[in-house]
Structure 1
Amino acid sequence: MASSKRASSMRLLLPSLPSELIEEILYRTPAESLIRFKSTCKKWYDLITNNKRFIYNHLNQSPERFIRIDHTTQSVQIMDPVTIIQSDSPIPNEFQDGLYPILSMVHCDGLMLCLCRNKRNSYFRCVRTTCADLVIWNPVMRKIKWIEPSVYHWESDYFGIGYNNTCRDNYKILRFWGPLSNFQESGNKSGRPECEMYEFKSESWRTLDAKFDGEVDNDCKGVSVEGNMYWIATKEEGSFILCFDFSMETFKNICVCPPYRKTRRLGCFNGDRLSLLQQDDKEETINEIEVWMTNKLSDDGAVSFTKYFNVNTPDLPALLYHTDFARPGYSIGKYRNIMSWCEGKVKNKDDTWCTCITFYDIDEGGIRKQRETRFNGHDWMFICSYVYVPSLIPVVWCS
C-alpha cells in the first residue's frame, strides 16, 4: 500500500520536471524500486526496461550488496553492508526442487553466472567430479537463462563471464578445463574442447585456441572486473594473476602476487582494480589480515600490488577458511575497512552446535561492527556470500 501511494505521488510530481532531472532522480533509486515503478507510464517503462544508456548509467551508480543462497531455508538473502538491512526472497523455482543446487557464482554487471550440480545425472557419481549446469540469473529481475553446453560441463571446470570492450551488452562465457575434469578427459579422447567461448547473442559455443602457463588455484573461482576475468594461478616461480581478455580472447599474466600467506581471496575494488585479502589463520596466534591492492587495471602502465593496510588486533575472526564452513564473501571499503558476511560455529545452551551467519566490519583498529544475522543448520556452499551489484540488465539481452 505504501509503495503504491509513493508511486502515485511520484506520478503527480515528476512529469512537471525536466526529463534530465527525472533521470538523475531515478539513477539514485534502487533497482528493486525501479522494477515497481515500470508501470508508472509508458515512458518510464521504456526507460527502465529497454534504454541501454539509462540501464548502464544506473548500474554504474548502484552500490554493492552481499548476496547469499540458503538452501536450508530455500531463500535468496541480500544485504546492504552499510545499513546491514537484509531482504529475503524465494530461490527461483528452477533451483527449488533440489536437482540443481548452486555450487558457486561469478558476478558481472548484476548478472550471476551460476554453476549448478546436476543431480539428475547419476552415471557420474562414481568419479571425483560430476556433471554440472550453467545458469545466468538476475536476482533483481528474478529471471534465469539456462546455458546449453556444447557437450557437457564438469564441476571442476573453470568458468568466467565478461564482454568485449566495444560491445558491453554482448556478454560471453569462458570455459576451460579444471584439474579434475574427468581426469582431463583421459587424454581428451572425447574430443571435448579444452577451452571454449559462449556468446549470448548467437547462443552458441566455439572452440578457442587459448593457452596459459601454470595452474589456476583450486580455491579461486575468479572475479570479473571491467569485462575481463582474473584468477590466482601458480607455477614454479610462484603465484601470479592470470587474466582472460574477452576483447582479445587470450590469457595473459598481468602481475605477480604478494608473498604467500596461509589463505587468500581475490576480489574487486572500486570497480576498476583488484584486491587481495590474506590471513595466516593460526589458532595459537593473532589471525593477522593483510589487504593488498592493484593500481587501475585500465592504466597503460604495468599492473602491480601494493599493501593497502593490515589488521593485527586480538580476537580477529578467521575470515577466509573454516574446515567445516563455506568461505566468506568480503568487500574492501574506501575507508580502509573490510566488510565480510560469513559462517561460524556457535554453541547452544544444551551443548549442541549450530551455524551462525555473521556480518563483520573490520578496520585497522579491529572489529568495528559485528552482527549475527541468522542461525540455521550447516549448509554446504563453497562460498558463503558474494559481492553483487543490483542491475536492470535483463537476461533476454543474452539472446
Structure 2
Amino acid sequence: MSRRLSLPVIPEELIYEILLKLPVESLWRFRRVCKSWKTLISHPQFAKDHLDSSISGAIMTQPRLALVYDDSNTATTYSVNSLFKNPPTLTEKLKFKMEGKHNHFVGSINGLLCLRDVNCCFRLYNPSTKLVSRKSPAFPIEIKYLFPNNAFFGYDKVNDKYKVLAFGVDLGYHVFNLVARLYTFGESESNWRTTIQDLSFGVNNIEGSRQTFVNGNLHWLTKRGHGSDKTVIISFDVDRETHGEVLLPLELEDIIWSLDLHVSNKFLYVSQYSHKTCLVLWLMKEYGVQESWTKVMTISLESRYCRCNATHLSPLCILGNDVVVLRNACSCPYLVTYDSKNGQFGRRFRIERSSPRQWHGGVYHESLVPPP
C-alpha cells in the first residue's frame, strides 16, 4: 500500500520573514499566489516592515532615479546603479503616466513621489506599485512668483501622515505678502490650512528646491532679515508644525548666494560654489550641531564637463560620502557621476527629450507603501 507524502508546513512567521527579504517587484507579483499572501503583502504593516528591512540593508535594493518632464504626462525611473556602467545605460527603465502635463517633482519619502501639476494641485504616486493618492485641492494663494522653489514634502511619523508645506504670494490690497500653507494627505475633507506658527520671517528669498526632509524636519535656506546678510537654514518640524534654525558652517554664514541643501542617508548636506571654479560639499555629522559640519568633497569645475557656466553643474543625489550624481542644466543636459576617492568623473549620460531643459528629478527607494 503506497503512502501519500504530505508537503511540509512552513510556519507563518517564517513565511513572513522570507517575504520581507524579497524585492517589491517580486512581492507585487506574488500577491497572485493565494488569498492569504495577497492579504499579507497588501497589509500596511507588512509594507512598513518591508520598508524598514530595505532601509536597514536587509534587502539588496538599489535607489532609483525619477525624472519628471514638463512637456509630457509621463515620468521615467532608472536604477541609479546603471549610471556606473561603462558606458552608462540607465537600464531597468520604468514609465508611468500622470494626469496632465507640466508636473513638477517635489520630493520622495518612503518610496512615494510627491508631484505638483500646473494647477498647483499635489498628489502622491508609488511608481513601484502604480498606486496614486487623491489629488489635493488647488493651492489657494497666487504662487507663480516663487515657482519652482516653493513646496516641500514631509512625513509626520507620529501620526503617520504625509504633508506638503508650500509658500505663496498674497496679492490682496496690492501688498506683496509671503504666506505659508500646509496640506495633509488622506484626511477627510482636508484642505490647505495655516501653520501653527507664522513662518513669514523665514521665507524671504527661499533658496534651493531639493528634497530636504531629514530628522523629521524640512529645511530651506534664507537670509535672516532685519538688516542682516547672514544666511541661515530654517527648519520646520513636520510632527509639531513648529519652526527653528539650523546654523550653517561658520565659513558659510556670510555667503548669500551659491548655496544649496541636500539630504542623503538621513544626513543634511550643503553645497557651495566657490568662485565658480569648484563645488564644495559639507556634511552635518550630528544634526543641529554647528561644529559637526565637515567638508567632505571638493569638485573642480574647470573641466570639459561644464564649459559654459560652472553653476549649471549641481548635485542631484549623494551616494555615501564618496560619490555624487551631478546634473548639468545647460542646453544639452546630462547626468554624470563623480568619485571623490579618485577625483574622477564618470561618463556622461545625456537626457534626450524634445524640451531637454524642462525636467526635474530625485532619488527614491522602492516600497510597498500605499499612498494615503
Shorter-chain TM-score: what band?
A: 0.7 to 0.9
CA RMSD of aligned residues (A): 3.5
Q: Per-residue deviation at 1:255?
A: 1.7
Residue 175 of structure 1 pairs with residue 166 of structure 2? yes
Q: Deviations over 1:305-350 (max 9, x none)?
A: 2212223385273499778x7x7552222252212354554xxxxx
Match of 1:34, as an amino acid?
L
Q: Would the aligned equivalents of 1:263 and 1:279 in 2 still touch at CA under 8 Å?
A: yes
Match in the other structure for 2:245: 253
- 1:114 equivalent to 2:105? Answer no
How many angstroms apart in 2 are the aligned matches of 1:339 and 1:210?
Answer: 36
CA distance in structure 1 between the partners assigned to 2:337 and 2:215 by the alignment: 27
Instruction: Give the corresponding residue for 1:68.
Output: 67
Q: How does 1:334-373 map to 2 (within 5 A)?
A: 334-345=320-331, 355-373=332-350
The C-alpha deviation readout for 1:148-173, integer Å capped at 9, x for no partner, is 14735624273223233322x22222
Gap runs ≥5 in structure 1: 1-13, 119-131, 346-354
User: Which of the numbers 26, 31, 41 marks the counterpart of 2:34?
Assistant: 41
The amino acid across from 1:263 in the alignment is: S
Are the equivalent residues in 2 in contact too, given 1:263–1:281 (CA < 8 A)?
no
For 1:326-337, list aligned pairs within 5 A. 330-337=316-323
SS in 1 for 2:175: helix
**In the alignment, which residue of structure 2 is the partner of 1:239?**
231
Structure-2 change in CA distance of 1:277 and 1:57 (3 Å): farther
Instruction: Indicate how the Cα distance of structure 1 residues 278 and 261 shifts in structure 2: closer, same or farther if over 3 A, else same.
Output: farther
Opposite residue 212 of structure 2, the aligned amino acid is V
| Pair 151,262 (structure 1): closer, same or farther in 2 beyond 3 Å | closer
Q: Superposition pairs for residues 6-85 of structure 1, below 5 Å?
A: 17-52=10-45, 54-60=46-52, 61-62=54-55, 63-71=62-70, 75-84=74-83, 85=90
Match of 1:86 among 75, 87, 91: 91
1:198 is aligned to 2:193: no
Summarize the Cα distance change of 1:117–1:394 in structure 2 as closer, same or farther, 3 Å threshold: same
Match of 1:186 in 2: 174
User: For the structure 1 residues 244 and 47, does the alpha-carbon distance in structure 2 shift closer, same or farther, using more than 3 Å as the test?
Assistant: same
Structure 1 residue 107: Cα displacement: 1.6
The equivalent position to 1:312 in structure 2, one of 300, 314, 324, is 300
Contact 1:262 1:280 in 2 (8 A): no
SS in 2 for 1:136: strand
The structure-2 alpha-carbon separation of the partners of 1:73 and 1:200, relative to structure 1 and needing over 3 Å to count, comes to closer
Report the more deviating stretch, 248-257 or 74-83: 74-83
In structure 2, stretches of 5+ residues that fail to align are: 1-6, 56-61, 84-89
Distance in 2 separating the partners of 1:293 and 1:219: 17
How far residue 386 of structure 1 moved from its aligned partner, in angstroms, is 0.9
Distance 1:336 1:311 in 2: 11
Is the aligned partner of 1:224 residue 2:229?
no
Residue 303 and residue 331 in structure 1: after superposition, are their counterparts in 2 closer, same or farther (change >3 A)? Answer: farther
Pair 1:23–1:342, CA change in 2 (3 A): farther
1:159 to 151, 165, 170: 151
In structure 1, C-alpha distance between the alignment counterparts of 2:356 and 2:173, rounded to whole Å? 31
CA contact (8 A) 2:73 2:98 kept: no
Counterparts of 1:185 and 1:23 in 2: how far apart (Å)?
60
CA gap of 1:382–1:21, structure 2 versus 1, over 3 A, is: same
Superposition deviation, residue 134 in structure 1? 1.8
Distance 1:28 1:69 in 2: 30
The amino acid across from 1:367 in the alignment is Q
**Structure 2 SS opposite 1:117:** coil
Q: Which letter does structure 1 place at the counterpart of 2:363?
A: V
One of 253, 257, 270 as aligned partner of 1:276: 270
- Cα distance change of structure 1 residues 249 and 34 upon mapping to structure 2, 3 Å threshold: same
Matched-pair contact (CA < 8 Å) for 1:227–1:246: yes
Confirm or deny that 1:102 pairs with 2:95.
no
Distance 2:208 2:322 in 1: 25
Cα deviation for residue 250 of structure 1 reads 0.9
User: Structure 2 counterpart of 1:37, which letter?
Assistant: F
Percent identity (aligned): 21
